[in-house]
Structure 1
Amino acid sequence: MSSKLAAVLIASPSAPAVDASLLADAAAALPDGSLRVLREGVAAEIILRAGEPEAVRSALAAAIAGRPVDLAVLPAEGRRKRLLIADMDSTFIEQECIDELAEAFGLAAEIAPITQRAMRGEIAFEPALRERAALFRGRAPEAAVAQILRDRVTFTPGGRAAVATMRAAGVYAALVSGGFTSFTAPVAAHLGFDENRGNVLETEDGRLTGLLREPVLGSEAKVTALDDLLGRRGLTRADAVAIGDGANDIPMLKAAGLGVAFRAKPAVAAVADVRIDHGDLTALLYLQGYAADEIRDA
């Protein structure tokens, strides 16, 4: 028997394409649904008492074809999650911190191509990270990290509001990154996450040794972190929403009750429950049925 569904339409707040024309076309495509605007011009949902997800998706995709709008079709029950587990680089911030660190040390030409291949899933994440870390041997990180955080790191729009709104609703929020704790800790604090996890670059006398503290937090370790966070709260995987963009996020996205690929590499978008290409990080809220009057200003 088919289940109650929520079809969600999301646009960028800077290009609010969920307008009256689009809503009329969407309602005509799903005449048995109940339409609710979540944020004027930006997000709306259509609740269907029954339906087959692929049929609903196909009908809506045809109705909105060519418009800059993300589309998700989800089970209507259990949409509001109780744990957020999020990637950092190119997700909650707009940079890859390891590449910024490489730029500061004059190593961009060697490191950036490895990063891109790893994020696309062309090479395994953990050995690629060790290879890049080894190139930092002998470098002094403190001033470089401070400069990058001050001058180069920019936060993805909607991130602070998404975290603040979910935490106000009782959600536990964890930033879990394959990047480095020297970045995850200040980024998590700025965005309002409850905790952060990442990899530790080993130092000796204030200089990098080129080694990572074991165990390395890679793709499978993200799933381990997810299960640990859930277990500590008596929750199940169905209670979690995960978001990321790179190949090392795939196991985490597949394990969570709702896996969101955010402006992601093709291999990631192909396996996630939802892909967000147009919306900002407030898309996390609309997917769960939060409306504009529930969103906290961060």
Structure 2
Amino acid sequence: MIKLCIFDFDSTLMDGETIDILADSYGVGDKVKNITYTNSNEQLDFFEILVKKVSYLKGMSYTKTLEIGQKLPLMNGAYELCEFLKSKNIFLVIFSGGFYEGINPAMQKLNIDLGFANHLHHKNNILTGCVGGEMMFLNSKGLMLQKLKKMLCLKNEEVMCVGDGFNDIAMFEESGLKIAFCANKLLQSKADICINKKDLKEIIKAI
């Protein structure tokens, strides 16, 4: 029986990438997107990509950042899926390589129990271009899930994970039920269930 569900946030519970939405609003969207595009050539790792992307937000109003975080579009079916899982007494958690400024409003809207992400550092209401938090590295989600399982006394088979990206592989390895949602091919190859329709209600049908 599943007792814990871990969700990725960007492009999973939320329809889009928080860093891209912030960058577009600040006029640096192309610069941020180009970092991902050139990743295969520069051999940047997850941490380096995150730090470099956030550096382009330096000078942005923190108030504006919070306003955008409140309005991030939730994925179709997010409310229904979370409501369904809560009705089964499943503890819901977000692991995001993005930011608390994005996940906090979503956690309130979706009745998520707990969340882990990164903080956009700001001073005098202005982003400094620095970032820090619990989800800075490629293996962060796996390490955090290990801690949660130990704290809650859970076995792998009592945990399900839902994600779409490379940094979700680490938490898949610590989970019993692995669900790839509109994911890249590598994550799909490691999943028990693959959902390729942008509607989280499909997960209800699958499980």
Distance (Å, rounded) in 2 between the aligned partners of 1:114 and 1:267:
20
SS of residue paired to 2:139: helix
AA at the equivalent of 2:88: A
Moved more, 275-284 or 125-134: 275-284
Correspondent of 2:175 among 245, 256, 265: 256
Higher helix residue share: 2
Map residues 104-115 of structure 1 onto 2, 5 A cutoff. Answer: 104-115=25-36
AA at the equivalent of 1:137: K
- The alignment's C-alpha RMSD in Å is 2.1
Map residues 117-156 of structure 1 onto 2, 5 A cutoff. Answer: 123-147=44-68, 149-150=70-71, 153-156=72-75
Does structure 1 residue 188 correspond to structure 2 residue 68?
no
Correspondent of 2:83 among 164, 167, 174: 164
Map residues 1-298 of structure 1 onto 2, 5 A cutoff. Answer: 80-115=1-36, 123-147=44-68, 149-150=70-71, 153-278=72-197, 280-288=199-207
In the alignment, is the contact (CA less than 8 A) between 1:130 and 1:212 conserved in 2?
yes
SS of residue paired to 1:211: strand
In the alignment, is the contact (CA less than 8 A) between 2:177 and 2:192 conserved in 1?
yes
Q: Does the C-alpha gap of structure 1 residues 240 and 215 become closer, same or farther in structure 2, counting only changes over 3 Å?
A: closer
Distance (Å, rounded) in 1 between the aligned partners of 2:64 and 2:115:
22
Residue 144 of structure 1, CA deviation: 3.7
Residue 141 of structure 1, CA deviation: 2.4
| TM-score normalised over the length of structure 2 | 0.90
Any unmatched runs of 5+ in structure 1? Answer: 1-79, 289-298
Partner of 1:16: none
- Residue correspondences, number: 205
Distance (Å, rounded) in 1 between the aligned partners of 2:165 and 2:38:
10
Q: Show CA shifts across 1:237-292 (max 9, x none).
A: 2211001111111111232101111001122212222211136212333333xxxx
Distance (Å, rounded) in 2 between the aligned partners of 1:244 and 1:225:
15
AA at the equivalent of 1:160: Y
Q: Does the C-alpha gap of structure 1 residues 232 and 285 become closer, same or farther in structure 2, counting only changes over 3 Å?
A: farther
AA at the equivalent of 1:170: N
| TM-score normalised over the length of structure 1 | 0.64
AA at the equivalent of 1:204: K
Q: Does the C-alpha gap of structure 1 residues 124 and 145 become closer, same or farther in structure 2, counting only changes over 3 Å?
A: same
Any unmatched runs of 5+ in structure 2? Answer: none
Distance (Å, rounded) in 2 between the aligned partners of 1:267 and 1:89:
17
Residue 165 of structure 1, CA deviation: 1.6
Q: Show CA shifts across 1:181-240 (max 9, x none).
A: 001110111111111111011111111111112554333111122122222221112211
SS of residue paired to 1:189: helix
SS of residue paired to 1:197: strand
SS of residue paired to 1:219: coil
Distance (Å, rounded) in 2 between the aligned partners of 1:128 and 1:277:
26
In the alignment, is the contact (CA less than 8 A) between 1:227 and 1:237 conserved in 2?
no
Distance (Å, rounded) in 2 between the aligned partners of 1:146 and 1:235:
37
AA at the equivalent of 1:235: L
SS of residue paired to 2:60: coil
In the alignment, is the contact (CA less than 8 A) between 1:177 and 1:217 conserved in 2?
no
Residue 115 of structure 1, CA deviation: 4.1
